Structure 1
Amino acid sequence: MNSNQYTVTETENKTRIDKLLSTVVADTSRSQIQSWIADDYVRVNGESVKPNYKCQTGDEISWAVPDPEELDVVAEDIPLEIVYEDSDLLVVNKPRGMVVHPSAGHQTGTLVNALLYHCDDLSGINGTERPGIVHRIDKDTSGLLVVAKNDKAHAGLSEQMAEKYIERKYEAVVHGVIEHETGLIDAPIGRDKNDRQKMGIVENGKSAVTHFRVIERFEGYTHVECQLETGRTHQIRVHMRYIGFPLVGDPKYGRRKTFDIGGQALHARSLGFEHPRTGERLYFEEEPPAYFQDLLAQIRKMY
């Protein structure tokens, strides 16, 4: 456990504590600081605070963060489709059916198991079960995600994620015909009160914003592009269901009568961000996999 202290200066008066500490603590993102505050690792004048606490001149900030646990996840020789790689990060095109990080019931065969075999080192910011993982996509969602090889890269990417600088666009096929060419869904997401295994639209949930654009319409279905402004759990799946257009094949939020494609028709097609070391803007795009293309072809043949 590493303990640290900092005294707020006059020029930092009324600065949010999460913003202030992200500049004080080297290689640490604002979202990571917020996580520390939520876990009560951060105190101001000996008292617990919230991430939006506005510091006062002379405040004594202390933080004691547990040392990272030793990694016990097994490295596995699993093929990876690596779109880009350098000394700081890599971009992976994850296949559908692959879990991103180990959890109960998924201790092996995950992206993390594969990454540990491929890389000599990964960022330790997210702990032993999620080394290098900056963001995740669901098991049955395919597509692009970025992985950090060191803490500095992880902090930079997480900061971009928190400030909404990372561009993430998905393709989906939904039930129903969306009449509008474009739209915006702004509805908070949290745990469903009636089913803790699901997420839902709840009043006290976290802010969630999704933009969508129609790519192609069919009789009874729509092919859409969704762009995330935030990254809540199951966000696109929950938001599209909320407006009456659930994803085809979605076993959790979709319709009972749907195409049996082994999961939701959702693909993380494009990813754009600034390189955390060089500042260069990077952009990657991957076409949806065969199952997705086959689904579209099947729907076209129906009508």
Structure 2
Amino acid sequence: MAKREFRRTVAEKQKGLRLDLYMFRSGMGLSRSQVENLIRSGLVTVNGKVVTKPGYKVKAGDEIFAEYELPEPFELLPETREDLPIIYEDEDIIVLNKPPGVVVHPARGNTSGTIVNALLGRLEELPETGDRTRPGVVHRLDKDTSGLLVVAKSQRGVRSLARQISTKEARRIYTAVVWGRPPIREGMVEAPVGRHPIDRKRMAVTPFHSKPAITAFRVKEEFGRVASLMELELLTGRTHQIRVHMEHYGHPVVGDPVYSGRETRKIFRVVPPEEREKVAACLEIMGRQALHAARLIITHPAKNYRMEFQAPLPDDMERLLEYLRLSYQKSSEAATS
């Protein structure tokens, strides 16, 4: 890691810009999200005083200072992957059904085996997005979340898709299995999401250094009091949003290793203790979070018509639902016999 110093005086023509945008545009070598994290971490001063709000509006004459480390650049290597699960492709976009366990884009310590590496092997180049490690990437899925991912193949695609996601014109709808039986069948979880105050690798519902986050949900099927099949739609797009919101709501995603989906102490707050055998069976089936990006609705960047894509559930979630349906059917039959 190379140590860097950032020292600038805000010019008259730049006054009124957000602090994170001003610093990003000044060529620090960091992505805007990295600049934002730098500010929130208290590593940026304005006129000698620490400022932790990325939205601070800079004034002419402000003295901005920061010390930070710049990761050594790594090369984005194209890779050949014959089983790239492409659902749709044209000159502007490519839509994939991402398998669980695959990372979307390279990062420090994980520079190969990603969707971006495979796409570079197929297409040779992808359009810039402002972050050299994420060419063409306008939204992401967690490594162990499966389902639909749209990647831009042109600058027109980048601009259009980024705008659609920002304005909520694009719709991203997920299928999940959660523990327990939610008290209402349809509603919204509206709670701000930010970095966990202690464990910085996790996200959390917190009022500190967070952003508004809204998830709409609908219960589609209940399996006694053990688990529920849900449809969830992102109305905002925060990191780990659905997983964090379901934990906060008290019904973690089944199998989630980070957000209480494998923590029996929290599972049995919403699942009766006599269902221990079913809980253990569910955890044996799901080695990851039972979360799948099932539907994606966008407007085509060039042709301007709406497009809807659907991806079937992966095998592990199908097996989980098969087990739950069979178990619930047997329980119902036993109760009525």
Normalised TM-score (structure 1): 0.78
Query: Which moves more between the two structures, 101-110 or 194-203?
Result: 101-110
Give 1:279's match in structure 2, choosing from 255, 279, 304.
304
Aligned amino acid, residue 208 of structure 1 = A
Give 1:139's match in structure 2, choosing from 140, 143, 146.
143
* Displacement after TM superposition at 1:76 (Å): 1.1
CA 1:125–1:6 in structure 2 vs 1: closer, same or farther (change >3 Å)?
farther
1:302 aligned residue: 327
* Pairing 1:215–2:220 present: yes
1:224 aligned residue: 230
Structure with larger Rg: 2
SS at match of 2:313: coil
SS at match of 1:298: helix
2:262 aligned residue: 255
Identical positions, percent: 42
CA 1:35–1:263 in structure 2 vs 1: closer, same or farther (change >3 Å)?
closer
2:189 aligned residue: 185
The structure with the largest helix share of the pair is 2
1:12 aligned residue: none
* Pairing 1:158–2:183 present: no
2:335 aligned residue: none
CA 1:71–1:121 in structure 2 vs 1: closer, same or farther (change >3 Å)?
farther
CA 1:35–1:235 in structure 2 vs 1: closer, same or farther (change >3 Å)?
closer
* Displacement after TM superposition at 1:50 (Å): 6.2
Query: 1:138 & 1:234 partners in 2: Cα distance?
Result: 7
CA 1:296–1:160 in structure 2 vs 1: closer, same or farther (change >3 Å)?
same
* Pairing 1:244–2:278 present: no
> How is 1:30-41 mapped onto 2 (pairs within 5 angstroms)?
none
Query: 1:216 & 1:118 partners in 2: Cα distance?
Result: 40
Give 1:172's match in structure 2, choosing from 172, 176, 196.
176
* Pairing 1:97–2:101 present: yes
CA 1:200–1:50 in structure 2 vs 1: closer, same or farther (change >3 Å)?
closer
* Displacement after TM superposition at 1:300 (Å): 1.8
1:148 aligned residue: 152
SS at match of 1:165: coil
> How is 1:116-127 mapped onto 2 (pairs within 5 angstroms)?
116-127=120-131
> How is 1:59-70 mapped onto 2 (pairs within 5 angstroms)?
none
- Listed as ranges, the gaps of 5+ residues in structure 1 are 9-15, 22-32, 41-47, 60-68
Aligned amino acid, residue 225 of structure 1 = E
* Displacement after TM superposition at 1:276 (Å): 1.6
Query: 1:249 & 1:83 partners in 2: Cα distance?
Result: 27
1:129 aligned residue: 133
> How is 1:16-95 mapped onto 2 (pairs within 5 angstroms)?
72-78=75-81, 79-95=83-99
- Listed as ranges, the gaps of 5+ residues in structure 2 are 1-10, 22-30, 40-50, 61-71, 265-278, 329-337
SS at match of 2:318: helix
Equivalent pair of 2:137/2:151 in contact (CA under 8 Å): yes
CA 1:37–1:296 in structure 2 vs 1: closer, same or farther (change >3 Å)?
closer
SS at match of 1:77: coil
Equivalent pair of 1:211/1:227 in contact (CA under 8 Å): yes
Provide, for residues 66-96 of structure 1, a one-character-per-residue CA deviation record: whole Å limited to 9, x for no partner. Answer: xxx9982111112211111111111111001
Aligned-CA RMSD value: 3.0
Give 2:241's match in structure 1, choosing from 226, 230, 235.
235
Query: 1:91 & 1:297 partners in 2: Cα distance?
Result: 28
Paired positions, count: 263
Aligned amino acid, residue 255 of structure 1 = R
Equivalent pair of 2:129/2:138 in contact (CA under 8 Å): no
Query: Which moves more between the two structures, 173-182 or 243-252?
Result: 173-182
